A = this chain, B = another copy of it.
Amino acid sequence: MANYNVCTLPGDGIGPEIIAEGIKVLDAVGAKYGATFSYDERLIGGAAIDATGNPLPEETLEAARTADAVLLAAVGGPKWDTTDSSKPRPEQGLLAIRKGLGLYTNLRPVRTFAALSDASSLKPEVIDGVDLMIVRELTGGLYFGKRERFFDEDGAGADGAKGQRAYDTLEYREYEIERIARQAFEMAKVRNGRVHSIDKANVLDTSRLWREVVHRVAAEYPEVELIDMLVDNTAMQLIAYPRQFDVVVTENMFGDILSDEASMLTGSLGMLASASLGDGTALYEPSHGSAPDIAGRGIANPLAQILSVEMMLRYSFDMADAADDIARAVAEVLDEGWRTGDIKQADTDPNQVVGTERMGDLVVAHL
């Protein structure tokens, strides 16, 4: 019987509560499909800052590296918010583990659950059947380029006024674009055969390089249709005609913005998971944040975390049947009317509004 070692990173806020449900579902599905999982829990984010001063302690990265997969919940909270660049911030832990594990591909599927179709702020006829996959480059661009902040003695201001200055660098290298493009085309091959490549080639040099390299890679995939789209236009098209998209590939910052925008098509961020893949261990996490306002109250929605377990089974353990089983179980629980507070609807039976643990139990019961 296969045994997998999963590094678990609860992080901050609702993290510990929801990751417990992810583990519960993983154990249950393992028992059914003949795999066992052992867990190695480590610190990341604000919790790690509080305990060690470092948002990603070296031993956490080491544990992640040697694990078969990493299950992350969420990091961050107002406690650690600061504009002082010299202070550690929880998000640095997230960026450091992405870089440390070489997780250059972030997959964020967006699809609507039939039971939740009226949760969207978009009209049903616009979002019906939406099923898209955002492929975001995750270890390059503005997030990792050289940045600096300094006081400009020479007077950078209008009329030579002295003042603060800051810059960040958006940088890409050919091989970085090539490998993420390839991921997108491979993904489109097993999906619906269409890739939208997003850039701002009418302004940015990095975007012009991006566009050229993506077209070169596209030549290897004659069966996949490639469409270039400017990022500003994409921000419109995602709302106006979301069904036109199958796979959407884009650089790090555009991907951050567009994937969050796209998540709203479903009306329920609490349902969306993501996978970050690279050459080594992969990492799975919900798309939502640490929701500090509701932390510790047992009411957080664990379904995105549970669906991140689904992605783990699919991409790291080649257990597609088990993954499908989780997806089906979640859909059934919703179809039966069960809701956490964030996804409850006007016609939800108040007796079916449940907490974090109960929702986890319901999914397990449907496996």
Contact present for A83 and B212 (CB under 8 Å) = yes
Contact of A168 (CB < 8 Å), options: B147, B173, B206, B263: B206
Question: Which of these binds chain B: A1-9, A153-161, A304-312, A317-325?
Answer: A153-161
Residues of chain B within 8 A (CB-CB) of A221 are none
What residue of chain B has the Cβ atom nearest to residue A206's Cβ? Answer: B166
User: Is A202 on the interface with B (CB-CB < 8 A)?
Assistant: yes
User: Is A172 on the interface with B (CB-CB < 8 A)?
Assistant: yes
Contact of A257 (CB < 8 Å), options: B165, B169, B231, B264: B231
User: Is A196 on the interface with B (CB-CB < 8 A)?
Assistant: no
What residue of chain B has the Cβ atom nearest to residue A261's Cβ? Answer: B235
Contact present for B123 and A208 (CB under 8 Å) = no
Residues of chain B within 8 A (CB-CB) of A152 are 173
Contact present for B167 and A145 (CB under 8 Å) = yes
Contact present for A171 and B164 (CB under 8 Å) = no
Residues A166 and B236 in contact in the complex (CB < 8 Å), given A175-B158, A203-B142, A203-B143 = no
Fill in one digit per residue for A124-137: 1 if any B CB lies within 8 Å of its CB, else 0.
Answer: 00100000000000
Residues of chain B within 8 A (CB-CB) of A89 are 202
Residues A163 and B143 in contact in the complex (CB < 8 Å), given A168-B204, A269-B236 = no
Residues of chain B within 8 A (CB-CB) of A204 are 142, 147, 168
Question: A232 vs B143: C-alpha distance in the bound complex, in angstroms?
Answer: 14
User: Is A357 on the interface with B (CB-CB < 8 A)?
Assistant: no
Residues of chain B within 8 A (CB-CB) of A171 are 165-167
User: Is A149 on the interface with B (CB-CB < 8 A)?
Assistant: yes
What residue of chain B has the Cβ atom nearest to residue A211's Cβ? Answer: B83
Q: How many copies does the complex hold?
A: 2
User: Is A240 on the interface with B (CB-CB < 8 A)?
Assistant: yes
CB distance from A112 to the nearest CB of B (A): 14
Contact present for A148 and B205 (CB under 8 Å) = yes
CB distance from A126 to the nearest CB of B (A): 4
Contact present for A149 and B209 (CB under 8 Å) = yes
Contact present for A167 and B261 (CB under 8 Å) = no
User: Is A201 on the interface with B (CB-CB < 8 A)?
Assistant: yes
Contact present for A260 and B233 (CB under 8 Å) = yes
User: Is A170 on the interface with B (CB-CB < 8 A)?
Assistant: yes
- Which residues from 188 to 207 on chain A have a C-beta closer than 8 Å to any C-beta of chain B? 200-206
Residues of chain B within 8 A (CB-CB) of A261 are 235-236, 238-239, 261
Contact present for B258 and A209 (CB under 8 Å) = no
Question: A148 vs B253: C-alpha distance in the bound complex, in angstroms?
Answer: 19
User: Is A351 on the interface with B (CB-CB < 8 A)?
Assistant: no
Interface residues, chain A, CB within 8 Å of chain B?
A: 76, 81, 83-85, 89, 91, 95, 121-123, 126, 142-143, 145, 147-149, 152, 156-158, 161, 163-175, 200-206, 208-209, 211-213, 231-233, 235-236, 238-241, 253-254, 256-261, 263-264, 267, 269
User: What 7 pairs between A and B have smallest CB-CB spacing?
Assistant: A163-B174, A235-B261, A157-B175, A167-B171, A166-B209, A83-B208, A232-B260
Q: List 23 A-B contacts (CB under 8 A).
A: A76-B202, A83-B209, A91-B203, A95-B203, A121-B123, A121-B239, A122-B123, A122-B239, A156-B174, A165-B174, A166-B205, A166-B208, A168-B169, A168-B204, A200-B256, A232-B259, A232-B260, A235-B235, A235-B257, A236-B269, A238-B261, A240-B264, A261-B261
Instruction: Taking A165-B171, A233-B260 as given, write out 6 further A-B residue pairs in contact, using a Cβ cutoff of 8 Å, ordered by the A residue number.
Output: A95-B203, A122-B123, A145-B167, A163-B175, A168-B205, A238-B261
